[in-house]
Structure 1
Amino acid sequence: MDSTTAFIIVSVMMLANGSVLGLLHRDLPVNLRPAALSWQAGTLLVAFGCIFFAFEWLMPLPLTVTVANAAFLFGLVAYVWAVRRFYGLQPKLVDLVPVFIGSFTVFWFSAIHPNTKVRIIVVALAWIWLMAAAVRVLLAHRDTALSRKMLTSILIAAIGFTMARMLFYIFLPMELDFKITDNSSWMNLATPLFMTVLPVVGATAFVLMCSDQIRRQWERAASTDYLTGLANRRTLTETGAGQFKLAAERSRRLAVAVLDIDAFKAINDTYGHEFGDKALVHVADRLQAGTRKIDLVARSGGEEFVVLLNDLDLSEAEVAAERLRLSVAADPFNFAATTVPITVSVGVAVRQPDDRSFADIMRRADKALYRAKQEGRNRVELAA
């Protein structure tokens, strides 16, 4: 198989792959579609460049190599932007710098001062620049997804091949008009095969990244409260049961604070549900800011919140609950030019030796909360 045939074959593979990505992107969540479209654009641009190389004999050499290499470089930029958009980042115009440098160099050293070796070196450096930019973004987001590691490894391997290819041609004796599409070197055949790595193998890794992201989004949606972003009742129950078991097995302390916004129905009735929703988010933020990293803040429903206070006895839990109560009371809620003071009542309970489950602690904390409401609200009550 000669290099021209190889370019034709890989072009067909890339076009097919790009078409599949076009069909898949419509089924992706809205936040992932821009990234998928960017990856598809990169694949089609690289395929376009390969087609130009495959039929270079139909056009003047300067036109062929300039357009083909520009397509490759723009394709790599599209891959970089796909990775950026995947993580919610905006594309950077600085990524276009190697495109213009590489394209101008190719034109100059093909049309004005023909020199294949210089073209190869400059284009290789531009490829490395762009692929390294994508690697930096991937390494900056160290999630545990295997697909991210796979794509990172593919890009690093591609950088390694590009460097090896550049060094090979640097030390290869060649004429100024040497062509990389003839059969004079095994590297000329290896190059089009290498061109399939990102459009085909890399695309598979990228699709898997999208799949992992969707799975994480579903898991997050199932475990968090849609309004406040706090843990929901399901997560509270599961985490509470786990913490209770651990505390019982290792004789550790565990406290629970149940908080309820005072007169929340009146706030909703007076200012509307949108105002009430914003007030819930405000209280959630205050509670989150006032707890430790080892504590769990959850919205158990309506205007009620629960905080799991790890490794605190009753007096320490009372101090922590009082701090949360004061934090909410000291920061009146302001929305739509309206300021409303908000307070919470708190019931606190700790694990007792005769407790059989996390639900036992919750029941006592709820009773303490009821007493706080009965005693005038905006106060902390301890379970008996």
Structure 2
Amino acid sequence: MMLDQQTLYLSAIVSRLAFLVVFVVIIVGQPRERHLWCWLIALLSAALGLMMLYRASIPALGYSIGCGLILLSLFFSWCGVRYFYGRRPRGAHAVLCLFGPLLLHIGCLVVGAPAHVALSPLYLASALIALLIVVEVVTSPDKRLITQYVIAAAYFGYGLGFLQQGLTLLINASTPVGLNNTNEALALFDQVGSIMVYFAYIAMSTERANRQLAIQAETDPLTGLRNRRGGQRALHEIELVPETTSVLVGDLDHFKRINDRLGHDQGDRVLCLLAARLTRGARRADVIVRWGGEEFLLVLPNTDRHGAMQIAERIRETVMNEPFDMAEVPLPVTISIGVATLKAEDADIEAAIKRADAALYCAKQSGRNRVCTSDERSERDTAKTDRDE
């Protein structure tokens, strides 16, 4: 049995009101998320717009208000998607996609244009916004959110539907205006599409929240660098090539004295400033990790032993020659660094890290504020053994 348009519209209103309740509950837990507020307004506008369109004998003004509310719903859906991806909507967007079509519609009514001509700007603007949402998703910086493509598919369908309806109203002068003129297939698609969209909104927000929790679990809260757990995961993801993958392990000299003399807050500031310097001087492929306490690990792909020594020396000189600004008082700080390069016989990167850590110990024992390689450590151990014998 085919459902009539009024039944489909009533069902669409009820489903949107149900999603409205769900979004209110979600926003209570995440009140600072702007995209959720935009989607809430979109839901409310769509529900009110459909209520206006649902009336059996609807006047022209009421139908105009209903279409305007649907346009408003799409606009706030688009704003929510932009906020979700960290792209702020601009005033020009509102003028182009919302106020412009509304003013054009009102102007058509004022000059006495036929109702179908006056409504066509609202349908065409709705099609434009729906397709803009598709563009936002396709060009999103994060391709790993699967549910965003459900949203893109639904709005692509909405865009084509609104485009077809707008062109029909504009071209066919005999087209009557009202709920009964709405294609049953389009009404049915709206029922299915709205469920797809709002379920996807909820799933996408949840998916990103879970990923953010995973990122937080792998991020050092003080410096913003990877913590040891995040570093371990990153090491499993990069390509490790013997003789061209190097490791630096750096440790601030006499850091305990800084904490004892200036306090732990200032010690934390030193760590943050050092992390910023390391990040600023790093290449895109380099992995920087707060390995523990005042110890930092750098993994350098495509870098042989000689290149790693140069990078380590540059870091050491930068730390030594640029005192840290501590409450407008420059604080001299030095760092010792151990360097090692991955060897063909190494089972994994851990072997190189252990050699770099041993080289760091060598640098500390040799007076601090210096760079020592794992080869130098081996030579010192051999010389010590020879002396003992």
Instruction: With the length of structure 1 as denominator, give the TM-score of the two structures.
Output: 0.86
Identity percentage of aligned residues: 28
Partner of 1:327: 318
Partner of 1:301: 292
Partner of 2:158: 158
Partner of 1:349: 340
What is the aligned counterpart of 1:365 among 341, 348, 356?
Answer: 356
Q: What is the CA–CA distance in structure 1 between the aligned matches of 2:136 and 2:330, rounded to whole Å?
A: 42
Q: What is the CA–CA distance in structure 2 between the aligned matches of 1:25 and 1:198, rounded to whole Å?
A: 23
Q: Does 1:81 align with 2:83?
A: no
Q: What is the CA–CA distance in structure 1 between the aligned matches of 2:236 and 2:11, rounded to whole Å?
A: 58
RMSD over aligned CA atoms reads 2.7
Alpha-carbon offset, residue 60 of structure 1 = 4.3
Q: Does 1:229 align with 2:198?
A: no
What is the aligned counterpart of 2:205 among 204, 210, 218?
Answer: 210
Q: What is the CA–CA distance in structure 1 between the aligned matches of 2:184 and 2:23, rounded to whole Å?
A: 27
* Residue pair 1:61, 1:110 contacting (<8 A) in 2 also: no
Q: How does 1:1-384 map to 2 (within 5 A)?
A: 1-28=3-30, 33-55=33-55, 57=57, 60-62=59-61, 64-97=62-95, 98-110=97-109, 113-144=112-143, 145-174=145-174, 178-182=176-180, 185=181, 187-196=182-191, 199-240=194-235, 246-247=240-241, 251-352=242-343, 355-383=346-374, 384=378
* Residue pair 2:336, 2:364 contacting (<8 A) in 1 also: yes
SS at match of 2:174: coil
Deviations 1:21-66 (A, max 9, x none): 22233345x65x3212221220111110110111263x6432x023
* Structure 1: segments with no counterpart, 5+ residues: none
Q: What is the CA–CA distance in structure 1 between the aligned matches of 2:10 and 2:232, rounded to whole Å?
A: 59
Alpha-carbon offset, residue 352 of structure 1 = 4.1
Q: What is the CA–CA distance in structure 2 between the aligned matches of 1:353 and 1:203, rounded to whole Å?
A: 53
Q: What is the CA–CA distance in structure 2 between the aligned matches of 1:49 and 1:331, rounded to whole Å?
A: 63
Alpha-carbon offset, residue 288 of structure 1 = 2.1
Aligned in 2, Cα 1:242/1:47: closer, same or farther, shift over 3 Å? closer
* Residue pair 2:249, 2:356 contacting (<8 A) in 1 also: yes
Aligned in 2, Cα 1:51/1:330: closer, same or farther, shift over 3 Å? same
Alpha-carbon offset, residue 237 of structure 1 = 3.3
SS at match of 1:141: coil
Partner of 2:384: none
* Structure 2: segments with no counterpart, 5+ residues: 379-389
* Residue pair 1:69, 1:103 contacting (<8 A) in 2 also: no
* Residue pair 2:74, 2:129 contacting (<8 A) in 1 also: yes
Deviations 1:258-284 (A, max 9, x none): 101122222233333333223212211
Deviations 1:209-264 (A, max 9, x none): 112212221221232222222222123334446769x54xxx54432111011222
Alpha-carbon offset, residue 334 of structure 1 = 2.1
Aligned in 2, Cα 1:137/1:275: closer, same or farther, shift over 3 Å? farther
SS at match of 1:256: strand
Alpha-carbon offset, residue 356 of structure 1 = 4.5
Letter of the structure 2 residue corresponding to residue 22 of structure 1: V
* Residue pair 2:134, 2:156 contacting (<8 A) in 1 also: yes
Q: What is the CA–CA distance in structure 1 between the aligned matches of 2:257 and 2:16, rounded to whole Å?
A: 62
Alpha-carbon offset, residue 141 of structure 1 = 1.9
* Residue pair 2:244, 2:305 contacting (<8 A) in 1 also: no
Q: What is the CA–CA distance in structure 2 between the aligned matches of 1:345 and 1:11, rounded to whole Å?
A: 67
Deviations 1:257-316 (A, max 9, x none): 110112222223333333322321221122123233232111101110011122433333
Letter of the structure 1 residue corresponding to residue 331 of structure 2: V
Aligned in 2, Cα 1:312/1:101: closer, same or farther, shift over 3 Å? closer
Aligned in 2, Cα 1:317/1:100: closer, same or farther, shift over 3 Å? closer
Aligned in 2, Cα 1:312/1:93: closer, same or farther, shift over 3 Å? closer
Moved more, 105-114 or 271-280: 105-114
Q: What is the CA–CA distance in structure 2 between the aligned matches of 1:160 and 1:335, rounded to whole Å?
A: 60
Q: What is the CA–CA distance in structure 2 between the aligned matches of 1:352 and 1:181, rounded to whole Å?
A: 74
SS at match of 2:89: coil
Q: What is the CA–CA distance in structure 2 between the aligned matches of 1:165 and 1:149, rounded to whole Å?
A: 24
Q: How many residues align?
A: 371
SS at match of 2:372: strand
* Residue pair 1:17, 1:199 contacting (<8 A) in 2 also: no
Aligned in 2, Cα 1:148/1:381: closer, same or farther, shift over 3 Å? same
Aligned in 2, Cα 1:190/1:171: closer, same or farther, shift over 3 Å? farther
Q: What is the CA–CA distance in structure 2 between the aligned matches of 1:92 and 1:358, rounded to whole Å?
A: 48
Letter of the structure 2 residue corresponding to residue 154 of structure 1: A
SS at match of 1:146: coil
* Residue pair 1:70, 1:102 contacting (<8 A) in 2 also: no
* Residue pair 2:248, 2:339 contacting (<8 A) in 1 also: yes
Aligned in 2, Cα 1:238/1:4: closer, same or farther, shift over 3 Å? closer
